[in-house]
């Protein structure tokens, strides 16, 4: 989700924003360390930019977004694939969930495993929305499309319900393990905050209130807590820049840390204090650790690896080392597998693909 401005090519995807799928090299410039937590790594997609792959409740399917041009795509659309059928089969084309209209992002299975939650700009236009100037002021920026709303579709791609219709950005939606709450990010309050709502779209409620971008949130395994990424502008200059960009539908996300809170937003606390960009967090099955993506270690900025940290901010451990982009980790419902996205094994090209591995504690 970040780029070094000296690098020439980035692609649009993930959370509706520019993502750092910077596949300029197949391997990390340094000698990679053994990825001891990951065994039997298997590639599930082959071509294009594929991101945010999330498990179905039974662990048999993944829903994700892709802009694979070989599928006739102009910008991100939502797909679902059977894990066993996809593994090792480049010719396998997943099932289309979104209808091809607008840009889509952030899909997630509903509790029945037969419907998928996602955000789309389709109410604004049938075509992909125009990409604004993302280099103004020499900053790396994300677009926050104000036509994003949250929908539910069945496995045949038929939209069965629109959950939000408030003007502005509504996206990044996930479901609680109990199936009783949807968690999402919205700017309807004038800032990018976390909100919750019932699965039918009712009882929409703001749960974070501090200035800065709050997003990419997930529930803990028992549904009692939330982990998310957040920017926190502090100085007068940082606050002015954040507000000015937000008024233009833009965010500069190069400084983010991981936070946790209770499911109702109470007991908010900061987990990481690493600097640079720490994002895409997900709870370990124990509910006591968090896996996330970070470039804090990198002198180049675009080297993103997976890390694991205790909820209290101690015990930082590097998980991946192969390639220069690894992100979007999610544990399977039984905690035995990890799905993630990486630009490894792309032949030195620019593709980012979905991988699944057996997890070893």
Predicted local distance difference test score (pLDDT) of residue 5: 25
Cα distances (angstroms) measured from residue 179 to each of 184, 232, 355: 14, 30, 26
Question: Looking at residues 338-357, what average pLDDT do you find?
Answer: 94
Contact present, 325 and 1 (Cβ < 8 Å): no
Tell me the average pLDDT across 126-145.
Answer: 89
Give the residue ranges of DSSP H helices in the chain: 83-86, 236-247
Task: Provide the total of helices (H) and of strands (E) in the chain, helices listed first.
Answer: 2, 28
Report residue 227's pLDDT band, with 50, 70 and 90 as the boundaries. very high
Are 233 and 241 a contacting pair, CB within 8 Å? yes
Backbone phi, psi, residue 246, to 5°: -60, -35
pLDDT at residue 301, rounded to an integer: 67
Element (H, E) at 331: strand 326-331
Is residue 214 within 8 Å of 180, Cβ to Cβ?
no
350 or 201, higher pLDDT: 201
Burial class (CB in 10 A: 0-12, 13-18, 19+), 119: buried
Average pLDDT of span 7-29 = 39
Given a cut of 60, whether residue 288 has pLDDT beyond it is yes
The answer to whether the beta carbons of residues 5 and 327 sit under 8 Å apart is no
Q: Which two tokens stand for residue 214?
A: 């709050």
- According to DSSP, the residues that pair with 278 across neighbouring strands are 294
Mean residue pLDDT of the chain comes to 90
| Dist. CA 118–CA 104, nearest whole Å | 7
Q: What stretch of H or E contains 50? A: strand 50-55
In order of their start, the domains of the chain are 11-359 (2.120.10.30)
Summarised one tens digit per residue, pLDDT across range 156-198 is 999 999 999 999 999 999 999 999 999 999 999 999 999 999 9
Whether residue 49 contacts residue 67, with contact meaning beta carbons closer than 8 Å, is answered with yes
d(CA 129, CA 148): 10
């Amino acid at each position: 989700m970040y780029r070094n401005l000296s690098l020439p090519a980035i692609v649009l995807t993930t959370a509706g924003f520019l993502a750092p799928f910077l596949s300029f090299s197949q391997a990390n410039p340094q000698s990679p360390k053994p990825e001891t937590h990951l065994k039997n790594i298997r590639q599930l997609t082959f071509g294009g930019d594929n991101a945010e792959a999330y498990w179905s409740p039974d662990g048999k399917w993944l829903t994700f977004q892709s802009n694979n041009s070989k599928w006739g795509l102009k910008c991100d659309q939502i797909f679902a694939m059977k894990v066993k059928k996809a593994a090792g089969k480049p010719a396998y084309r997943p099932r289309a969930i979104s209808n091809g209209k607008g840009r889509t992002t952030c899909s997630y299975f509903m509790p029945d495993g037969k419907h998928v939650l996602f955000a789309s700009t389709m109410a604004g236009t049938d075509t992909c929305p125009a990409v604004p100037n993302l280099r103004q002021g020499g900053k790396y920026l994300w677009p926050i499309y104000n036509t994003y709303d949250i929908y539910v579709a069945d496995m045949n791609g038929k939209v069965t319900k629109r959950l939000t219709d408030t003007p502005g950005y509504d996206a990044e939606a996930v479901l609680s393990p109990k199936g009783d709450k949807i968690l999402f990010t919205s700017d309807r309050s004038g800032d990018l905050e976390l909100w919750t709502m019932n699965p039918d779209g009712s009882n929409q409620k703001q749960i974070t209130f501090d200035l800065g971008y709050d997003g990419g949130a997930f529930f803990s395994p028992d549904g009692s807590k939330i982990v998310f990424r957040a920017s926190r502008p502090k100085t007068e200059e940082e606050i002015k820049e954040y507000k000015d960009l937000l008024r233009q539908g833009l965010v500069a996300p190069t400084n983010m840390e991981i936070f946790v809170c209770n499911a109702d937003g109470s007991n908010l606390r900061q987990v990481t204090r690493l600097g640079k960009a720490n994002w895409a967090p997900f709870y370990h099955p124990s509910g006591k650790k968090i896996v996330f993506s970070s470039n804090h270690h990198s002198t180049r900025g675009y080297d993103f690896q997976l890390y694991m940290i205790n909820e209290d901010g101690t015990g930082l451990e590097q998980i991946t080392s192969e390639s220069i982009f690894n992100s979007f980790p999610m544990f399977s419902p039984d905690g035995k597998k990890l799905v993630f996205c990486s630009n490894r094994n792309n032949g030195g090209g620019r593709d980012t693909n979905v991988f699944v591995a057996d997890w070893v504690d």
